[in-house]
Amino acid sequence: MKVVDRHLLKELAKFVLIAVASLVVIYLLIDLFEELSYFTGRKTGLGVILLYYFYSLPSAVSLLYPVSLVLAVFMVYGQMTRHRELHALESSGVSILRLFVPAIALGLASVVLYLAANELITIPFNVRLTDLRRQKIERRQSSQLQRRQNLHFVGEEGRIFYIRELSSDGVMKDFSVSELGPDRRVRRRFDVREAIWRDRKWQARNVDVRTFDVLGNEALERKDSLELDMIRETPLDFASTSRPVDETSTRALRDFIGRMKRAGENVAKEEVEYYYRFSYSLIGLVVVLLGLPLSVRLRRGGVMFGLGLGLLLSFLYWGAIQTSRAFGTSHVISTALSAWLPNIVFGAIALVLVLNVDR
C-alpha cells in the first residue's frame, strides 16, 4: 500500500499544482483586463504592473486552492474509477476508504499551510499591494506621513478618541479622549488642541479636562500643557487603524475587537472575519471529503463531468459562505456560527457520503 499511497499523493499534488497555476493565471488575466484602464490612465510602467500582480498572487492562491483540491480529487480518482483501477484494488482486498487516505492527508496539510501562509505571506503581501497602489500607481502621499481627518479610535481600557487631524509622524490636533466608567458613562474627558509624540509620551498643550460625577455634573479644569501619560497608544497604533481587515494580522484583529467591545461598539463584521480566518482553513479538507465519494461513483459521465461537478460544488460552497457571513454581519445569527455554519453543513454531508461509499 505504501507504493499506492505514494503514487496517489504524487498524482494529487501534481494536479493540484496544475489546477492552482491554471486558475490563478486565468484569474489574474481577467483582473488585468478589468484594471487595464486603471493602469494606462495613470501611466503605470510594466515593472510596477508585474510587481502589482506578484503581490496579488498569495490572495489569488488562497482564494482558489480549495477549487484546485477538489478538481485534483476528481481528476485522479475519477480516472482510476473510469479505468477500473479502483475495482482491481478492491478485488485484492483494499477498501475504498483506505485509498482515500492520501487525499485526506493532503486536505489536512492544506489546513496547516493555509494558517501559516495567511499570517506570514498573504497579509504582508496585501499590505505591500495597497502601499504599491497608493504610492507608485496613484502617487499619493506616503502612508508614513499621511494626514488623516475625523478619526474614531477605541484605545486601551475602553478610551474613546475623536481626532480631527492625525499625522502619523506624531502630531494630533483638535481631539478628545473620553474615559468611560463601568456603567458606560463618560467620567472624564480631555479636549486637546494639539499633542506631540515625544520621548515615548504624548505632550499636549491647551487642554480642557472635564470631570463628571454620577449625576452628570461637570467640573472644568484648563491646562496650558499636560503630559497625557494615560494614553499608551503610539502614532503607529493610530496609523494601523487605517488598514482593512485583510491587511491586519489575526492577533491585531483580535485585540481590536476586544477594545471595540469594551467600548460598546458594534464589531459584528470584524468578528465574522476573525472566525472566518479559522473556518476557511478547513475548506480544503471539506471539499476533498466531498469530492472523494462522488469521484468514485462516476461510473458514467467521465472525468470532464467530474470536473464540472467539482466546480459546481465549489461555487455552491462559496455562495453558502458569503450568505452565512452576511447573516452574521447583520446579527441574524451569531458571528461564530456564521463563519462555521457552511463547514458544518457541507462537512456533515461529506462525512455521510464518505461513510457510505462502500454501500
Q: What is the pLDDT of residues 157-189, one digit of tens each?
A: 668 888 888 886 788 899 998 888 777 788 899
Do 193 and 172 contact (CB within 8 A), yes or no?
no
Q: 127-136: list long-range contacts, CB under 8 Å, 24+ apart.
A: 127/243, 127/247, 128/55, 129/52, 129/55, 129/56, 129/59, 130/243, 130/247, 132/48, 132/51, 132/52, 132/55, 133/52, 136/44, 136/48, 136/51
Q: What is the pLDDT of residue 211?
A: 92
The H or E element containing residue 61 is: helix 46-82
Task: Determine the Cα–Cα distance for residues 246 and 54; give it in Å rounded to an integer.
Answer: 17
Q: 32-38: list long-range contacts, CB under 8 Å, 24+ apart.
A: 38/137
Query: Per the structure block, which three cell numbers stand in for 150?
Result: 475625523
List the single range of 79-88, 120-129, 316-325 with lowest mean pLDDT: 79-88
Q: How many helices (H) and strands (E) does the chain have?
A: 12, 6
Q: What is the pLDDT of residue 66?
A: 92
Do 345 and 320 contact (CB within 8 A), yes or no?
yes
* Whole-prediction pTM: 0.75
Task: Determine the Cα–Cα distance for residues 339 and 326; give it in Å rounded to an integer.
Answer: 10
**Looking at residues 336-342, what average pLDDT do you find?**
94
In this predicted model, which residue has the larger pLDDT, 78 or 276?
A: 276
Do 339 and 270 contact (CB within 8 A), yes or no?
no
Whether the per-residue pLDDT at 91 is higher than 80: the answer is no
Do 23 and 68 contact (CB within 8 A), yes or no?
yes
**Looking at residues 12-25, what average pLDDT do you find?**
94
Q: What is the pLDDT of residue 111?
A: 95
**Looking at residues 93-114, what average pLDDT do you find?**
90
In this predicted model, which residue has the larger pLDDT, 150 or 329?
A: 329
The H or E element containing residue 152 is: strand 147-154
Q: Kindly give, in sequence order, each residue whose CB lies less than 8 Å from that of residue 280, ignoring residues fewer than 6 positions away.
A: 114, 321
Torsions phi, psi for 234 (to 5 deg): -95, 170
Q: Kindly give, in sequence order, each residue whose CB lies less than 8 Å from that of residue 179, ignoring residues fewer than 6 positions away.
A: 157, 158, 159, 186, 187, 188, 189, 230
Task: Determine the Cα–Cα distance for residues 67 and 74; give it in Å rounded to an integer.
Answer: 11
Task: Determine the Cα–Cα distance for residues 102 and 109; give it in Å rounded to an integer.
Answer: 10
Classify residue 138 by its DSSP letter.
Answer: S
Whether the per-residue pLDDT at 240 is higher than 90: the answer is no
Size (the chain), residues? 359
3-class DSSP state for residue 215? coil
Task: Determine the Cα–Cα distance for residues 295 and 307; give it in Å rounded to an integer.
Answer: 9
Q: What is the pLDDT of residues 43-74, one digit of tens each?
A: 899 999 999 999 999 999 999 999 999 989 98
Do 114 and 281 contact (CB within 8 A), yes or no?
yes
Do 27 and 64 contact (CB within 8 A), yes or no?
yes
Give the percent of the chain with pLDDT over 70: 91
Task: Determine the Cα–Cα distance for residues 71 and 91; give it in Å rounded to an integer.
Answer: 27
Classify residue 141 by its DSSP letter.
Answer: -
Q: What is the pLDDT of residue 256?
A: 79
Please name every residue paired with 121 in a beta bridge, in sequence order, or none if there are none. none
